[in-house]
Copies of this chain bind each other. A is one copy, B any other.
């Protein structure tokens, strides 16, 4: 396992470098990430390279046994790039070029920028390929800048469409350009949609795909060079969890493994649900373990920072990621920068540069990692449940949410969080993933549903799988046109229902006939399909005269499996707890342990070992029953039948 910090030697006087390396070593660190914003220090003027400072920094670290991941530095262009090649600056929808002076502001279609990127990448690769403590590369930094609307991007978008569609007839058909008489007769007539709320939804969806293509191509240019020059190094990229602007599955394809930047300490409730879910998605991108390349190490924010990690909290959120499949963990950042826009993105050391509490907690966590390292080798999370995560549906829902308040990820979280509360591990995978190994597949709002996927899901159920689908499933085809089938289209048989009408519901409506949840009523909000069960059983319905004839939740035996459908949004999370309890029972999914509220459970297994992570994410001590007589790895003690976790406490029990 790798553990360490994001480190910017160029921010500090050279006399500190050896001190910092010593302190890192003392903390048990073995890795840093460096250089991803240091282009101007490596290429101070065009074509003149200077790596001497970084050589020295690397050498200082090497003496302490610390390895380095280097970032290609293309997320911040030097001033001379902007001055010499103004066309490399991205253009806003309104026509203004970005003003140089921030970061992530380049045009990804600019030939000049792509060439400059290749040159600095090649120069770095050639220089560092044989530096012994360089172990790998991070491409750029947090891909996903705002898109560029310049003429070059427009021409590039037109080219991409030409390659995608072949002919204009195909494009006009795919975009449904008969609507509003928007047929185009030349590729040059096509525009980048300046907003996603008034332009053609198919055009908007394709632009989102093109935007991914631009980023993937830009990364691939770099990866190709890194593979060629540094075949022994790994290549990764720091993703941003649930940030939705790029198709991360595509971006992950060219990498050895995925990394991500995790900032779960901001004072908002529910962030650890998201950190867990994002970890599951990161693991799902390549279906293998991942790194955390940036990790909360203090109050964070550009103008206003949030709360400080409380005693014990840094360790908790770090071990949570290990529990979800992290094999590397890098805190952001070593020392809080005293300059620039991230002065308040606090690191392990403060502005004063002293190794205080946060440093000590990181060191304690690194010691825990050391204890876990051998047991974790070869293990990962093996889930019985998959949630399908689909960027096309996400984007199309953003373009047309269907009803006020709808959000693809919020829809997904309802199930993901209920599963977490139930103690069940989950994989977040793409619709292209094989489903054979899963007992239960949850497919929230598969709004864009190509026929092939629908048929695959039907087959999955027929052959014994349990599927949970919900509202807005199957509305659109891959090009963003609405299917001409009565909903849920090709899933009608599998789900055993027909939906002839549907509507947004401005007020809440009590849910009727099921889920007699101890006294308090559950409520449908936002949306209701007018679901008519055909072969399905109605599990819940509605009060209120006009929705009374319809089902809110259905269950349908189909072949050897079962298809569930949820046609509304419930206000109360308890609805989803009851639903998940019902569904996992049907699917014969059993949690390793049903945790009390505030405690998270996750299991890593492999090579015959099974490690149960128990994480108290609350600020009160929690006592829970656990398998007795097993090794609790962090304390080195044997378990009794009950275990008490202090606030933010973590236990890792080797149950096999």
Contact = CB atoms under 8 A, between A and B. Distances in A.
A340 B399 contact: no
Contact of A504 (B38, B197, B306): B306
Interface string A306-349: 11101100000000000000000000000011111111100000
Contact of A101 (B39, B191, B357): B191
Given A500-B356, A504-B299, A506-B268, A343 B201 contact: yes
B80 A189 contact: yes
A198 B341 contact: yes
A546 B482 contact: no
Interface string A493-534: 000000011111111000000000000000000000010000
A180 B340 contact: yes
B401 A303 contact: yes
Contacts of A100: 189, 191
Contacts of A80: 185, 189
Interface secondary structure of A, over-half rule: loop
Interface stretch (A17-25, A111-119, A171-179, A575-583): A171-179
26 contacts: A41-B178, A41-B181, A76-B180, A95-B96, A99-B192, A101-B193, A103-B180, A175-B339, A176-B340, A179-B339, A179-B341, A179-B342, A201-B341, A201-B343, A299-B502, A299-B503, A299-B504, A301-B504, A304-B504, A308-B502, A308-B503, A336-B482, A338-B483, A350-B501, A357-B501, A545-B647
Given A181-B73, A481-B339, A483-B351, A305 B403 contact: yes
B198 A400 contact: no
B351 A401 contact: no
Nearest to A479: B339
A361 to B, nearest CB: 12
A136 to B, nearest CB: 21
Interface in A290-310: 298-299, 301-308, 310
Interface string A339-371: 111111000001111101110000000000000
Contacts of A310: 546
Contacts of A41: 178, 181, 183
Interface string A397-439: 0011111101000000000000000000000000000000000
Most B Cβ at <10 Å: residue of A99, A103, A181, A307? A181
B306 A503 contact: yes
A182 interface: yes
A352 B486 CA distance: 5
Nearest to A403: B304
Contacts of A180: 37, 76, 102-103, 340-342
A304 B406 contact: yes
Nearest to A338: B482
A342 B198 CA distance: 10
A200 interface: yes
Nearest to A308: B503
A377 interface: no
A10 B183 CA distance: 12
A211 B647 CA distance: 51
B185 A44 contact: yes
B302 A344 contact: no
What are the 4 closest A-B residue pairs judged by CB atoms, nearest first? Answer: A176-B339, A179-B340, A308-B503, A267-B506
A56 interface: no
A619 B200 CA distance: 37
Given A102-B199, A189-B80, A191-B99, A485 B302 contact: no
Nearest to A82: B189
Interface in A569-597: none
A181 B481 contact: no
Given A343-B400, A481-B339, A502-B308, A200 B101 contact: yes
A186 interface: yes
A11 interface: yes
Nearest to A103: B180
Interface in A373-414: 399-404, 406
A194 to B, nearest CB: 5
Contacts of A202: 339
Given A83-B188, A501-B356, A501-B357, A303 B197 contact: yes
A189 B79 contact: yes
Interface string A129-146: 000000000000000000
A352 B485 contact: yes
A484 interface: yes
A40 interface: yes
B504 A200 contact: no
Interface string A553-582: 000000000000000000000000000000
Nearest to A188: B83
B506 A307 contact: yes
A376 to B, nearest CB: 30
Contacts of A501: 298, 308, 350, 356-358
A78 B177 CA distance: 11
A175 B340 CA distance: 7
A545 to B, nearest CB: 7
